């Protein structure tokens, strides 16, 4: 299909293309809804005249919802404060304790891009999954800057509570149970790869910051002249048998991003994946639940698909939606995030390229095709030539499941392999501008990095971030390195 150049504000040297695909009909099963309530000054704020007031909502009954977040008018304005909510469960009628909502959501389109500057784009907290609820109470309190005697910042204008009902799963939806395909090869097929590192190889305190090996220096700014799209051999050196960029082979079993999209892209063995892609070092394609599989309402998103040139690096995120969900809830949770990113934040589509649940099921995120280099909105400043994977949950203190870590490793081994990259290697990306690297700076990243490596943020949570070394090693082994 013909592609048109899109006038994006990208880093020098970075490009993006769009094409207009099919416009899928809305699902037969209702795909959910968004309800909003404007926040108001709280009577208990007690601030002096002219001082910033806390805002919120008193305890009240509302239409049933499962995910919530707070948004505001100007996406360029930060919410310097704490956001807390209480909710009432539909099933029990019991009110929860106060829960924290992450007040900053740095998963975002690149600054200056049409997605970031279009009318309707709003600032937003991270969304919080609360399960089926029909009551809510909210408080947003300014946080003093500069210590006890510091000034209280004003809260952003237009604060609003957005409550998302994800709708129902369609009959016959694919199972969220993790697939064993693409997992460590058995002795019955020794040609498909070497033995892989076991769970005892998961990093702990022995790893350096960034989840890297002791020899890893992590993420550094670099203005050198190395090849930004170099490919890696088994020892991290250039591999003459690989060429950067996606192969042209057509896979009839991958219907993602087409008008014939099936609920699942099936797993392939490593031998099948090598034969299809012509890649020497690549992981087996894992089973992926497509947008059709999690019942995305395609009428919500912007019609055009947007692509970047390559996938040179993978940024790992946590969704910060909390860990109180069952694996059977994952499709509803993803539909809620999808709706929140579009209807509440004003983006063109869900920001992440892929999502992984605690059972290790991999889900397609932003539309365009699972094997394609889809331009996401996940790592402000570094969405070009990268891929964003969100592990559903919050991992500031809690450990991600082994199944989730292994799924990220399988996904990265396959997707980086398509584009000729070593998961244990490094990649150069051009900054589109973030709070860590100015626009136009060329930055060296681990091929599998955390969101915080490109942006000053807590994401993907300290515990998940410390597991990135394990993911890199496992993904490299899956490629046969």
Q: pLDDT tens digits, residue range 132-147?
A: 999 999 999 998 766 6
The answer to whether the beta carbons of residues 448 and 468 sit under 8 Å apart is yes
The answer to whether the beta carbons of residues 476 and 422 sit under 8 Å apart is yes
- Angle at the Cα of 21 from the Cα atoms of 16 and 25, rounded to 5 degrees: 135
For range 384-392, the mean pLDDT? 97
Question: What is the secondary structure of 257-306 as a DSSP string?
Answer: TSTT--SEE----HHHHHHHH--SS-PPPPPEE-TTTTT--TTSS-SSEE
pLDDT interval class at 45 (50, 70, 90): low
pLDDT interval class at 310 (50, 70, 90): very high
Burial profile 401-415: b = 16 or more Cβ within 10 angstroms, e = fewer = bebbbbbbbbbbbbb
Give Rg (Cα) of the chain.
Answer: 22
Token pair listed for 450:
């955390």
Coil, strand, or helix at residue 433? coil
Give the span between the Cα atoms of 26 and 20, in whole angstroms: 17
**DSSP assigned state of 52:** P
The answer to whether the beta carbons of residues 81 and 153 sit under 8 Å apart is yes
Query: Alpha-carbon torsion 348, 262, 128, 311, what sign?
Result: negative
Helices and strands counted in the chain (H then E): 7, 21
Give the span between the Cα atoms of 301 and 257, in whole angstroms: 13
For range 212-235, the mean pLDDT? 42
What pLDDT does residue 131 have? 96
pLDDT interval class at 151 (50, 70, 90): confident
For range 188-208, the mean pLDDT? 42
Residue 363 has pLDDT above 90, yes or no: yes
Out of 33-47, 229-243, 389-403, least confident range:
229-243
* 269-287: pLDDT as tens digits: 999 999 999 999 999 999 9
Strands laid side by side in the 442-446 sheet: 220-221, 442-446, 426-430
Query: 49: burial class by Cβ within 10 Å (0-12, 13-18, 19+)?
Result: exposed
What pLDDT does residue 212 have? 39
The answer to whether the beta carbons of residues 95 and 62 sit under 8 Å apart is no
What is the CA 302 to chain-centroid distance, rounded?
A: 18
Out of 70-79, 193-202, 391-400, 453-462, least confident range:
193-202
* 171-188: pLDDT as tens digits: 777 766 544 444 433 333
Residue 195 has pLDDT above 60, yes or no: no
What pLDDT does residue 277 have? 94
Residue 49 has pLDDT above 90, yes or no: no
What pLDDT does residue 184 have? 38
What pLDDT does residue 70 have? 97
More confident call, 195 vs 378: 378
What are the start-end ranges of the E strands in 90-181?
A: 99-101, 123-124, 128-142, 160-165
Out of 31-45, 157-171, 265-279, least confident range:
31-45
Nearest to 359 by CA among 393, 401, 388: 401
Token pair listed for 268:
């392939």
Distances (CA, A) of 358 to 323, 387, 401: 9, 20, 6
More confident call, 30 vs 430: 430
Residue 51 has pLDDT above 70, yes or no: no
Question: What is the secondary structure of 186-206 as a DSSP string?
Answer: PTT-GGG------GGGS--TT
The two beta strands, 123-124 and 55-72, are antiparallel
What pLDDT does residue 210 have? 43
Token pair listed for 197:
């590192």
* 427-436: pLDDT as tens digits: 999 999 888 9
What pLDDT does residue 20 have? 47
Residue 96 has pLDDT above 60, yes or no: yes
What pLDDT does residue 251 have? 84
What pLDDT does residue 252 have? 84
Of the ranges 120-129, 215-224, 356-365, the best mean pLDDT one:
356-365
For range 94-114, the mean pLDDT? 80
pLDDT interval class at 328 (50, 70, 90): very high
Query: Mean pLDDT across the chain, nearest whole number?
Result: 81
Distances (CA, A) of 473 to 196, 203, 234, 377, 410: 9, 10, 12, 26, 11
What is the CA 266 to chain-centroid distance, rounded?
A: 22
Q: What percent of the chain is modeled with pLDDT above 70? A: 73
Q: What percent of the chain is modeled with pLDDT above 90? A: 64
**DSSP assigned state of 342:** I
The answer to whether the beta carbons of residues 79 and 156 sit under 8 Å apart is yes
What pLDDT does residue 240 have? 40
């Amino acid at each position: 299909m013909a592609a048109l150049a899109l006038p994006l504000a990208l880093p020098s040297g970075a490009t993006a293309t769009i094409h207009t695909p099919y416009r899928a009909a809305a699902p037969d099963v209702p795909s959910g809804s968004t309800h909003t309530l404007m926040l108001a000054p709280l009577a208990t704020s007690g601030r002096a005249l002219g001082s910033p007031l806390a805002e919120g909502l008193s305890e009240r009954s509302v239409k049933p919802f499962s995910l919530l977040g707070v948004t505001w008018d100007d996406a360029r304005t930060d919410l310097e404060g704490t956001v807390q909510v209480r909710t009432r469960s539909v099933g029990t009628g019991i009110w929860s304790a106060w829960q924290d909502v992450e007040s900053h959501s740095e998963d975002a389109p690149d600054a200056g891009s049409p997605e970031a500057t279009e009318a309707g784009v709003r600032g937003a907290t991270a969304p919080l999954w609360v399960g089926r609820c029909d009551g809510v109470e909210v408080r947003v309190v300014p946080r003093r800057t500069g210590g006890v005697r510091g000034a209280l910042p004003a809260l952003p204008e237009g604060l609003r509570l957005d409550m998302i009902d994800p709708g129902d799963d369609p009959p016959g939806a694919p199972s969220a149970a993790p697939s064993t395909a693409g997992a460590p090869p058995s002795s019955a097929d020794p040609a498909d790869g070497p033995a892989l590192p076991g769970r005892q190889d998961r990093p702990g305190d022995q790893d350096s910051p960034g989840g890297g090996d002791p020899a890893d220096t992590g993420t550094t700014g670099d203005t050198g002249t190395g090849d930004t799209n170099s490919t890696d051999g088994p020892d991290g050196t250039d591999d003459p048998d690989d060429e950067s960029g996606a192969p042209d082979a057509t896979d009839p079993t991958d219907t993602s991003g087409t008008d014939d999209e099936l609920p699942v892209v099936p797993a392939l063995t490593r031998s099948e994946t090598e034969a299809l892609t012509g890649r020497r070092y690549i992981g087996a394609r894992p089973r992926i639940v497509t947008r059709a599989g999690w019942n995305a309402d395609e009428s919500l998103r912007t019609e055009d698909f947007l692509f970047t040139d390559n996938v040179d690096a993978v940024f790992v995120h946590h969704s910060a939606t909390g860990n109180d969900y069952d694996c059977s809830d994952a499709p509803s949770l993803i539909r809620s995030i999808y709706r929140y990113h579009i209807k509440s934040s004003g983006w063109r589509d869900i920001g992440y390229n892929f999502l992984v649940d605690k059972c290790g099921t991999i889900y397609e995120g932003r539309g365009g095709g699972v094997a394609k280099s889809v331009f996401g909105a996940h790592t402000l400043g570094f969405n070009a030539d990268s891929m964003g994977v969100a592990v559903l949950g919050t991992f500031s203190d809690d450990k991600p499941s082994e199944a989730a870590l292994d799924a990220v490793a399988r996904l990265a081994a396959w997707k980086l392999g398509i584009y000729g990259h070593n998961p244990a290697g490094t990649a150069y990306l051009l900054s589109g501008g973030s709070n860590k690297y100015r626009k136009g700076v060329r930055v060296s990243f681990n091929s599998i990095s955390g969101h915080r490596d490109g942006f000053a943020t807590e994401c993907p949570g300290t515990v998940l971030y410390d597991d990135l070394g394990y993911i890199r090693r496992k993904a490299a082994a899956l490629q046969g390195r």
